[in-house]
Amino acid sequence: MKSCMIYGANGFTAGLILDQALQQGLTPILAGRSGSIAELAAGHDLEYRIFDLNDGAEIQDNLRDIDILVNCAGPYKYTATPLLEACMATSTHYLDITGEYTVFQEAERLEEEARNAGVIITPGVGFDIIPTDGMTKYLVDTHPEGQAIKLAIYGEGAFPSKGTTATAIEGLTESDYILQDGKVVKVRRPYHVQNFTYEIDGEKKRRLAMTIGLPDPFTARKSTGIENLQIYFCSPPSMIRGAGIAYRLRFLFNIPGVKWVLKKLAIKGDPGAEVRAGAKNYVLGEIYSDFKEKPLARYQLTTMNGYDLTAVGTVHAVKTLMQGVETSGYLTPSQLMGIDWLLQSEGIDLIALGPLE
């Protein structure tokens, strides 16, 4: 069996991935920067390694015998590049669970190098971006005449983990992006606000949503060839107003200590099993001939909570690589794994929605 390492293994989501991996008979090597890795590994009778990301040679030494690396250490704008560069040198496949678009930009930059090294790079093998990438792929496959896509994410029941909250605060000053005529275009936040209609428990529910800086504008064209895409996140009006204010005052967040204070105020904890069990996410997908017209078709993908989906998706990606993939370079999740496995997974439901009224 090919070897697998989970870096940042002492994090909340990494723990869910580890549990899922063990349930499926995998024995990953645990790694990270903290000494708590040793205790975690001992509790599962697993091998472990402790190293930080400041020394490229040390990272390479720890990856030379590793076939697959799963990076769970965020924020990924700090951890992805040193690990990716080491993976190129050691011919180690790279996976992570990020939703930070900068990592996908880095993956694009390294694509030729990855091909030459025989390495696969697939960021975003969790809730960001498996369901949205899968929805985009499904829309294009079923409606090849479509020219433009809108995606909208709505979640019920869970709150973000400590790591997710920290990453979100790091991204408060970032711009949004859209895919427009085949080019990724940088836009203000929020670029656009609109209502989307979901079907939840047999009822139509309208939810207000704003464009958000998730990586789908960077991945959609690679996955499907589509040239126009916007992605939205459903939020209350107060949060949408707050996002706009934060973007206009983004220079304040560069003052030393401001983000640290925000993290201390905002971080609550991690969603436990009971909270996650009662949570669901909904990904709405609309495909158009033109955004000025009504959609050609509308679909809704209902999933389990994002954290458990991340665990399932990551382990599926690892097993896909262990079975062997006859290509190399930068692949999106749908390119690496397809979408049939997702649509057939327990807790996943895809329905066609009626036309907009």
Instruction: Write the pLDDT tens digit of every residue in 172-212.
Output: 667 889 999 999 999 988 889 999 999 998 899 999 999 99
Per-residue model confidence (pLDDT) at position 90: 98
Q: Is residue 102 part of a domain?
A: yes
266 has pLDDT over 80: no
Confidence of residue 167 (pLDDT cuts 50, 70, 90): low
Average pLDDT, the chain: 91
Contact 98, 123 (CB under 8 A): yes
Alpha-helical segments (H) within 74-110 = 76-90, 101-109
CATH at residue 102: 3.40.50.720
Considering the domain architecture, whether residues 71 and 199 belong to the same structural domain is answered as no
Q: Are residues 285 and 149 in the same domain?
A: yes
Question: How much is the average pLDDT of 14-37?
Answer: 96
Residue 269 pLDDT exceeds 90: no
In a domain, 91, yes or no: yes
Quick one: pLDDT at residue 246? 76
328 phi, psi to nearest 5 deg:
-155, 175
* Range 48-75 average pLDDT: 97
Q: How far is CA 255 from CA 75, 136, 214, 245, 355, in A?
A: 19, 39, 25, 16, 48
In a domain, 338, yes or no: no
Nearest Cα to 152, choosing from 256, 91, 233?
Answer: 233
pLDDT band at 171 (very low <50, low <70, confident <90, very high): low
Mean pLDDT of 160-169: 67
Average pLDDT of span 210-215: 92
| pLDDT tier for residue 270 given thresholds of 50, 70 and 90 | confident
Stretch among 58-67, 112-121, 236-245, 280-289 having the lowest mean pLDDT: 236-245
Q: Specify whether 69 is located in the same domain as 134.
A: no
Tell whether 347 and 319 lie within a shared domain. no
Q: Are residues 312 and 297 in the same domain?
A: no
Percentage above 70 pLDDT, the chain: 91
**In this structure, what token pair is assigned to residue 175?**
């711009």
Least confident of 30-39, 155-164, 208-217: 155-164
Number of independent structural domains in the chain: 2
Query: Which SS3 state, helix, strand or coil, does residue 24 take?
Result: coil
Q: 229: which 2 tokens?
A: 């895409």
Does 144 fall in a domain? yes
Do residue 72 and residue 115 come from a single domain? yes
**Alpha carbons 156 and 320: distance in angstroms, whole number:** 30
Place of tokens 């064209």: 221
Average pLDDT over residues 104-111: 96
Give the H/E segment covering residue 75: none
**What is the CATH number for 298?**
3.30.360
Q: How far is CA 248 from CA 175, 190, 208, in A?
A: 10, 10, 21
Q: What domain range includes position 235? A: 130-304+343-353
Residue 330 confidence (pLDDT) above 60? yes
Does residue 264 fall inside a structural domain?
A: yes
Copy the structure tokens of residue 214.
Answer: 């998730």
Q: Domain for residue 228, yes or no? A: yes
**Of the candidate ranges 28-32, 119-123, 266-270, 286-290, the one whose mean pLDDT is the lowest:** 266-270
Q: Given a cut of 80, is residue 267 above it in pLDDT? A: no
% the chain with pLDDT above 90: 77
Residue at 283 is within a domain: yes
Does residue 19 lie within any of the structural domains? Answer: yes
Query: Residue 50: which region, alpha, beta or left (left: phi > 0; alpha: psi -120 to 50)?
Result: beta
Give the helix/strand (H/E) hosting 285.
Answer: strand 280-288
Which residues, in sequence order, are CB contacts of 219 under 8 Å at separation 6+?
Answer: 104, 124, 129, 133, 136, 332
Q: How many CB atoms are closer than 10 A to CB 208?
A: 15
User: For 312-327, what is the mean pLDDT?
Assistant: 96
pLDDT confidence of 265, banded at 50, 70, 90? low
Question: 97 and 158, same structural domain?
Answer: no
Mean per-residue pLDDT for 50-75? 97
Say if residue 32 is in the same domain as residue 80.
yes
Same-domain pairing of 279 and 187: yes
Q: Which residue has the higher pLDDT, 266 or 106?
A: 106
Same domain for 50 and 142: no
Residue 134 and residue 121 in one domain: no
Judgement on whether residues 218 and 191 belong to the same structural domain of the protein = yes
